[in-house]
Amino acid sequence: MIFLPLKDRENPPARLLVGGALRQIERAVINLDGKEYNATYYPDTPIIELLRACSIHKLQLQPGDRPKCNYCESQLEHGLTLQVEHYRPKAKVEAGVNDNIELPGYYWLGLEWTNLLLACPKCNGKDAKGNHFPIRGVRAVAINPILRGPRGQISLDRSQTKAHAQPLSAELPILLNPEIDHPEDFLTFDLYANISGHGPNAERGNVSRDRYKLNRNLLVAERLDVWKAFKKRIEVDIAGFELGVHNDAGLQYLFKVTCRELLERKSLEKEFTLWGRYINDNIVDFINVYVAPDYQDRFNQAYDEVVAEQQLIPA
């Protein structure tokens, strides 16, 4: 999970403000039922495309771009379709962290722009995030955000519906929201790509990890593969050096090529950016564990040189 600041929270896509969308909200409010949304609006192409672009820190997708699940940072191409996810569940809420207290959903937020995220079915499924929404504060009171004018004209009052603002923020949600929270303050890794909570609010990290299933087996294996590919390259380069294929300068050159690619893993467009940043922030520990002792200093020096070179490049 990585911080996603690009969405224009004050200006929802026009599709969410058309009369039909507002009438759906009104119907859900009147019937106190989030099932009133017939899924016409939030999976609409412009909305999905904007969410997909924001997931890799862009406002518009380019050919070849690979959007990511907002929770696990898996890219679409892993055979799963990214879905529009309601951060606050619209139809019903399972409220407990460990128990199953069931409450009505946030039916008035079914088409609220700041309530819509993009998630893969593995993070969003019934046995994962599903309808769960535990909080530490007081559950928000339902409101009617639809205004009817004297001639029946309909409009939306979003003053109390934004996920990042009062009164909803006073609920103190436990599950991390990548558009509001900075995941690196709550989540860290070990050298084997397992996620755990950390920092003063480690509980939010741990509950989010469990709820979004961020340590599911395949996901951990895919994250670890990112590092293993680098480890393999380092080993091949060392083998070439020991066989006399490369001299000292050649090995140093190859290490620096690897280091440049390692640093690219910090990029927001890459899959598993939070993990890529963890690897880079803790590169000395990874090298200590995974690289033959005779070559550790040499690799670390190459890494430092590449970092220094990149700092000289004007932004």
Among 84, 109, 123, 180, binds Zn ion (CB under 5 A): 123
Minimum distance from residue 92 beta carbon to Zn ion (Å): 22
Among 1, 120, 168, 287, binds Zn ion (CB under 5 A): 120
In the complex with Zn ion, the residue whose CB is nearer, 121 or 167, is 121
Query: Is residue 3 near Zn ion by the rule CB under 5 A?
Result: no
Minimum distance from residue 307 beta carbon to Zn ion (Å): 31
Minimum distance from residue 105 beta carbon to Zn ion (Å): 21
In the complex with Zn ion, the residue whose CB is nearer, 120 or 254, is 120
Q: What are phi and psi of 39, to 5 degrees?
A: 65, 30
Minimum distance from residue 121 beta carbon to Zn ion (Å): 8
Q: Which of 198, 195, 226 has the alpha carbon at shortest distance from 290?
A: 226
Q: Of 3-11, 44-52, 112-120, 179-187, which segment contacts Zn ion by CB under 5 A?
A: 112-120
Considering only residues 64-103, where is the footprint of Zn ion by CB under 5 A?
69, 71-72
Pairing of strands 102-104, 92-94: antiparallel
Pairing of strands 154-156, 146-148: antiparallel
- Total site size for Zn ion, rule CB under 5 A: 5
Minimum distance from residue 16 beta carbon to Zn ion (Å): 23
Residues forming contacts to Zn ion in the complex (CB under 5 A) are: 69, 71-72, 120, 123
